[in-house]
Amino acid sequence: MKIIGIETSCDETSASVIEAKGGLDFPKFKILSNIVASQIDIHQKYGGVFPSLAKREHVKNIMPVFIKSLKKASILKKGKSKFKEKEIKKILKKEPDLLKEIKWLSENYKKPDVKALAVTYGPGLEPALWVGINFSKAIQKLWDLPIIQVNHMEGHIASVLTKDKIEIPAIALLISGGHTEIILIKKGMKYKILGQTLDDAVGEAFDKVARMMSLPYPGGPEISKLAIKDRNNRKLGNSYNLPRPMIKSNNLNFSFSGLKTSILYTLKKIPSINQTVKEEISREFEDSVIDVLLSKTESAVREHKTKTLIIAGGVSANNAIRKSFKDFSKKMNLKLLIPDNNLTTDNASMIAMAGYINTLRDKSILLKKPRMKAQGNLRIKF
């Protein structure tokens, strides 16, 4: 079946069309289109994502991104659809600009040949989430398409499903700008959170450390580039003796704010933060993060006799992290699944894939008209 995905939880507006088949043991996917409009340039000035600006950009981008995605997947059908003005107006009462766009859509296009529309309803920035939700509700009214509501973090897990089968039990390490979680995946793609960060997420720590060294937002890719240079220059890096927070705690939780503070104090003592310092700090910060991530993941893998390890979320794009987990998986005889580069940061294909998984878990989901609300702090639970 074909599913359209919509993602607007943070600073990427994305729409995708996927073709999905297979059961929960081995779902198979083909990505027909995955269009992402990034707002990075806009938020860079503020050094982080600004919710009301993010919302404004989503409103501006969502229709062009949606049309582009349907066109690329060759499912866009010229024609007209009945514009149910009263009902659609009610859905979009706070988004008059979107109302105009939906009217335009009704005057130019017919319902495409898809089974459902999957949309992120949390976690994320609520003003941003609402844009995707209300847009999807309006499309549902216009084209009579069922909506599948999707948890963004389940989307990150699903992002590896284009690669290979997940052998159960599996452990997913989700590392993004908003989350750091270790999740156990059981039969039937049922999830349980085993551990999470008590303060900053890994990506957030990357972004904050980057900011301390006056690097642009998002800091992850910048730190990553600097660290590679240092890895090429110095064999071992231990000039700064950074802490490995909670590495010895008897649980699977994380904490990264102490590491960030320790870097702040380290930097304060250095008279000139030149390029070499930035490279060394970046590498040593990465080393510290990797040690903690590996140690916690190893405990989870041993305890649950895991067969597959999934590393997903924006930070999984990091080269040193990828390499460390490749070596670790070899040593532990694990199947390692990391998303392709275009699926590591936020995108709508992963939302459509997670939407399909939701329909396999609960067939009735497609018939329901969920009274969806944005849930900024939504958690994975089964």
Q: Does 220 bind ligand KG4 (CB under 6 A)?
A: yes
Q: Which of residues 338-367 bind Zn ion (CB under 5 A)?
A: 346
Residue 366 near residue 114, CB atoms below 8 Å: no
- Rounded Cα–Cα distance for residues 93 and 80 (Å): 23
CB of 163 to ligand KG4, least distance (A): 17
Residue with tokens 């009579």: 144
Q: CB of 76 within 8 A of CB of 70?
A: yes
Judged by beta carbon, residue 116 or residue 227, the one nearer ligand KG4 is 227
Query: CA separation (Å) from 30 to 8, 18, 117, 150, 192?
Result: 22, 6, 16, 19, 27
Query: Which C-beta is closer to ligand KG4: that of 67 or that of 124?
Result: 124
Smallest distance, ligand KG4 to C-beta of residue 109, A = 30
- Nearer to ligand KG4 (CB atom), residue 70 or residue 129: 129
Q: Tell me how many residues contact ligand KG4 (CB under 6 A).
A: 19
Considering only residues 164 to 203 of the shown chain, the ones binding Zn ion according to CB under 5 A are 176
Q: Could you tell which of ligand KG4, Zn ion, none binds residue 221, using a CB distance below 5 to 8 A set by kind?
A: ligand KG4
Locate all alpha helices (DSSP H) within the chain, ordered by sequence: 40-44, 51-72, 85-91, 96-108, 126-143, 152-158, 202-212, 219-233, 257-269, 275-304, 319-332, 348-361
Q: Does 206 bind ligand KG4 (CB under 6 A)?
A: yes
Site string for ligand KG4, 297-336 (x = CB under 6 A): ----------------xxx-xx------------------
If binding is defined by CB under 6 A, does position 355 make contact with ligand KG4? Answer: no
203 is a contact residue toward ligand KG4 (CB under 6 A)? yes
Binding flags for Zn ion, 272-301, as an x/- string (CB under 5 A): ------------------------------
Query: 272 is written with which tokens?
Result: 């000139």
Rounded to whole angstroms, the Cα distance separating 165 from 316 reads 19
Q: How many CA atoms lie less than 13 Å away from 364 in the CB half-sphere?
A: 1
| Bridge partners (DSSP) listed for residue 2 | 19
Instruction: Assign 269 to helix, strand or coil.
Output: helix
Per CB under 6 A, does 10 bind ligand KG4?
yes
Q: Under the criterion CB under 6 A, does residue 122 sit at the interface with ligand KG4?
A: no
Smallest separation, CB 38 to Zn ion (Å): 13
Which residues bind to ligand KG4, rule: CB under 6 A? 10, 176-178, 203, 206-207, 218-221, 224, 313-315, 317-318, 345-346
